[in-house]
Chain A
């Protein structure tokens, strides 16, 4: 069959479909998002965006109990949210096969931490597979479903950004016909009260023993014979780097990294003079291999943070980098990601900035407000944390000196903001939270969520009313503002920051990019009115720059939102085709 170029994520989706998967659920999160977007295109798969990873995994558990092969996808930090069901699911086991796909993000290309989720497989006593390219992603997912049903266990498949977002050649197969199984009542297996859980934990421990045997003989774990001088144990994309750096070495290539094949590792080590372990992030394999009494070199040569690449592996193990003098690129003007031209978050921050609130932020595009010159973020921990953090901060009176506000997006609010709001209503909070509602999950590329009115498959559905939810949770002061109206938004913010009652402000305007809004007429600078004061540049819009001292709007990039025109104190910025006002209107920004 003809080979095609697929990303790791596309290959995971294809593999799951070929394995006969009938249900897939996820919350978007880089680098895992495209798996669920891809599998949603198959008619045979009921695919869903869940409000968060915990619900996604729980729905997959239900689908598995209902007798269907099920997939739950998430990024590494998403598994923290889903860890509660995951660790007990290990005891419950499956009916239809169940795979948890977890995508780690070494180097934190788009994440708030760099945790190595391979430890979750050990924590939950669940087998783990790690593909090193797209073909393996497809093959290993299919194998994962076989393992899941044969051993009555969920299987964790762990990928990383470089596997998810690289395209490599893949041979595709057909979809396996899988019959839906009956759900047979069996409380001792499925109801985890202590008495039953004790029995199931025993089962889990025995299962690990059988899986360890399987790990010794599976073709996923294989020796590639090479020179006796050097043996390399590796898995995931690190294997590809090691292959390139040590073309003559012998390899123990592991596709199943939990449980490790102890006998195979010892046998491999006996056959070579020395052993390197090449793995990204933590010494997950290295520590276990050393505990077997096998001498290896791993993290003594390689860093425990950041992605690896062939150059890092080469240098780490003492092979010279074949390179010219290193070019210092750190002095170049940086190009950090920025809020897009026309982004409603810019309007909100422009309105809030002169009030100088402490901003407890959250995970989404609006976190980019931390960058100067906006500088509108003072803390950001995890999904939904803005609300709890701003509650605790104000609860201990810390905001008496300087007012604070919690800021999060619509999708993040629905992911894990509801309990935070409930808490601030229940525990007599006095804080203010702003939900920046842009009607999409923007940072991950514009996915639907429970308030957009559409499912992952584009079918119309119930759209939850965020203001009504907030009111139902016990907040009386709920206000909806248009962030492109700077003055009005600022007035509401100022009032709510001062009032000693809990309040929620919903800043409502669609993301122009992800919700495909029609581009509005761009703005232009009338140079005779521009005083070169620079206040328009402090909103950090990518469409604005200076040309010969004067402000200049790039009309190719400008989205016509008009925030710059509202901060100009001299009426110098007007919509194309319109005339400047005769008398300059008063600026809304304090200079």
Chain B
């Protein structure tokens, strides 16, 4: 059976580990037999800037960039960041939003307001929205640092990839000393999605 195209955007703030998350998700699609292309922006964006990773999987993928209006999933590591990428959303999009606020410098210094209408604006694009507090869940597991694996777990709950493949990919990509805690985070994310 031909594999259906799946376009994913993983967005957040530099240093949050969303590039690594993109790598995990791409590898999982590869292990599940998909053609995969993933793209990201390095360089200056590492320094606290807005960062996005595109993951595309399917039978045969050409462009490594997700076309506008065509995202199936947008995973936002920070609450307002999804707003920068709404041109990629459409009715088919599932928006997965982490309930973590990181103030941009213009907000921190008092010049601008942190948007208070994030959900309303996302709702104009799609009905499928899930907000989770991955940082809180990660703290309960033991360390906030694994919140990115919690979010990978939330997304994993929606993807046509079996649990054993995720575990295999984590074993390949994560240091052994950090494997258990990351797998716990993945499980917690799967549970959060409630699917």
Residues of A within 8 A of B (CB): 3-5, 30-31, 109-110, 133, 161-162, 165-169, 237, 240-241, 243-244, 309-311, 321-324, 326-327, 329, 332-340, 365, 368, 371, 373, 443-445, 534, 537-538, 540, 542, 544-546, 556
A165–B40 touching, CB < 8 Å: yes
Closest CB-CB distance, B102 to chain A, in whole Å? 8
Of the 9-residue stretches B64-72, B149-157, B175-183, which lies at the interface with chain A? B64-72
B112 touches A (CB below 8 Å): yes
Q: How far is the CA of A161 from the CA of B65 in the complex (A)?
A: 12
Number of A-B residue pairs with CB-CB distance less than 8 Å in the complex they form? 154
Q: How far is the CA of A365 from the CA of B38 in the complex (A)?
A: 26
A335–B43 touching, CB < 8 Å: no
- Contacts A168-B36, A311-B67, A443-B43 hold; do A333 and B112 have CB atoms under 8 A apart? yes
A339–B104 touching, CB < 8 Å: no
B109–A332 touching, CB < 8 Å: no
B108 and chain A: residue at smallest CB distance: A545
Of the 9-residue stretches B79-87, B160-168, B186-194, which lies at the interface with chain A? B79-87
B47–A309 touching, CB < 8 Å: no
A237–B64 touching, CB < 8 Å: yes
- Contacts A165-B39, A329-B84, A332-B83 hold; do A310 and B65 have CB atoms under 8 A apart? yes
A162–B48 touching, CB < 8 Å: no
Q: How far is the CA of A169 from the CA of B37 in the complex (A)?
A: 7
Contact residues in A for B108 (Cβ distance below 8 Å) = 537, 542, 544-546
B36–A169 touching, CB < 8 Å: yes
Give the interface SS of chain A, mostly helix, strand, loop or mixed. Answer: loop
Q: How far is the CA of A556 from the CA of B13 in the complex (A)?
A: 15
Which of B40, B65, B113 has most chain A Cβ within 10 Å? B65
- Can you report 23 residue pairs joining A to B where beta carbons are below 8 Å apart? A3-B30, A5-B36, A31-B42, A109-B43, A133-B64, A168-B37, A169-B36, A237-B64, A243-B63, A309-B63, A322-B69, A324-B69, A324-B87, A324-B90, A327-B121, A334-B50, A335-B48, A335-B104, A335-B105, A337-B49, A365-B47, A444-B43, A537-B109
Contact residues in A for B45 (Cβ distance below 8 Å) = 109-110, 337
Closest CB-CB distance, A159 to chain B, in whole Å? 13
A340–B48 touching, CB < 8 Å: yes
B44–A443 touching, CB < 8 Å: yes
B36–A162 touching, CB < 8 Å: no
B184 touches A (CB below 8 Å): no
Q: How far is the CA of A133 from the CA of B62 in the complex (A)?
A: 9
Q: How far is the CA of A209 from the CA of B30 in the complex (A)?
A: 43
Interface size on B, as a range, is 35 or more
A166–B64 touching, CB < 8 Å: yes
Q: How far is the CA of A168 from the CA of B144 in the complex (A)?
A: 31
B148 touches A (CB below 8 Å): no
Among candidates A244, A324, A332, A339, residue contacting B84 with C-beta atoms closer than 8 Å: A332
Among candidates A3, A165, A334, A339, residue contacting B42 with C-beta atoms closer than 8 Å: A165
B19 and chain A: residue at smallest CB distance: A165
Closest CB-CB distance, A152 to chain B, in whole Å? 36
A534–B67 touching, CB < 8 Å: no
Q: How far is the CA of A557 from the CA of B49 in the complex (A)?
A: 15
Contact residues in A for B46 (Cβ distance below 8 Å) = 337, 445
Q: How far is the CA of A162 from the CA of B40 in the complex (A)?
A: 8
B64–A338 touching, CB < 8 Å: no
B65–A309 touching, CB < 8 Å: yes
Contact residues in B for A237 (Cβ distance below 8 Å) = 64
A540 and chain B: residue at smallest CB distance: B105
Q: How far is the CA of A112 from the CA of B68 in the complex (A)?
A: 28
Q: How far is the CA of A225 from the CA of B166 in the complex (A)?
A: 40
B55 and chain A: residue at smallest CB distance: A167
Closest CB-CB distance, A526 to chain B, in whole Å? 19
Closest CB-CB distance, A175 to chain B, in whole Å? 23
B105–A542 touching, CB < 8 Å: yes
* B104-137 at interface with A (beta carbon < 8 Å): 104-110, 112-115, 121, 125
A167–B83 touching, CB < 8 Å: no
A110–B44 touching, CB < 8 Å: yes
B64–A240 touching, CB < 8 Å: yes
Contact residues in B for A444 (Cβ distance below 8 Å) = 43
A169–B65 touching, CB < 8 Å: no
B159 touches A (CB below 8 Å): no
A327–B87 touching, CB < 8 Å: yes
B27 touches A (CB below 8 Å): yes
B99 touches A (CB below 8 Å): no
A338–B48 touching, CB < 8 Å: yes
A323–B69 touching, CB < 8 Å: yes
A168–B48 touching, CB < 8 Å: no
Q: How far is the CA of A241 from the CA of B44 in the complex (A)?
A: 25
B94 touches A (CB below 8 Å): no
Contact residues in B for A161 (Cβ distance below 8 Å) = 41
B26 touches A (CB below 8 Å): yes
Among candidates A30, A167, A337, A368, residue contacting B37 with C-beta atoms closer than 8 Å: A167
A310–B67 touching, CB < 8 Å: yes
Closest CB-CB distance, B132 to chain A, in whole Å? 19
Q: How far is the CA of A365 from the CA of B26 in the complex (A)?
A: 30
Among candidates A109, A110, A335, A534, residue contacting B13 with C-beta atoms closer than 8 Å: A335
Extra inter-chain contacts (5) besides given A109-B45, A373-B109, A545-B107, CB under 8 Å: A4-B30, A162-B64, A167-B39, A309-B67, A310-B67
Contact residues in A for B27 (Cβ distance below 8 Å) = 5
B23 touches A (CB below 8 Å): yes
B14 touches A (CB below 8 Å): yes
A30–B42 touching, CB < 8 Å: yes
B47–A311 touching, CB < 8 Å: no
Which of B36, B38, B68 has most chain A Cβ within 10 Å? B68
B63–A534 touching, CB < 8 Å: no
Q: How far is the CA of A457 from the CA of B121 in the complex (A)?
A: 49
Contact residues in B for A445 (Cβ distance below 8 Å) = 42, 46
Closest CB-CB distance, B16 to chain A, in whole Å? 11
Contact residues in B for A365 (Cβ distance below 8 Å) = 47
Closest CB-CB distance, B26 to chain A, in whole Å? 6
Contact residues in A for B121 (Cβ distance below 8 Å) = 327
A241–B41 touching, CB < 8 Å: no
B103 touches A (CB below 8 Å): yes
Contact residues in A for B13 (Cβ distance below 8 Å) = 335
A324 and chain B: residue at smallest CB distance: B69
Contact residues in B for A240 (Cβ distance below 8 Å) = 62-64
Q: How far is the CA of A165 from the CA of B65 in the complex (A)?
A: 12
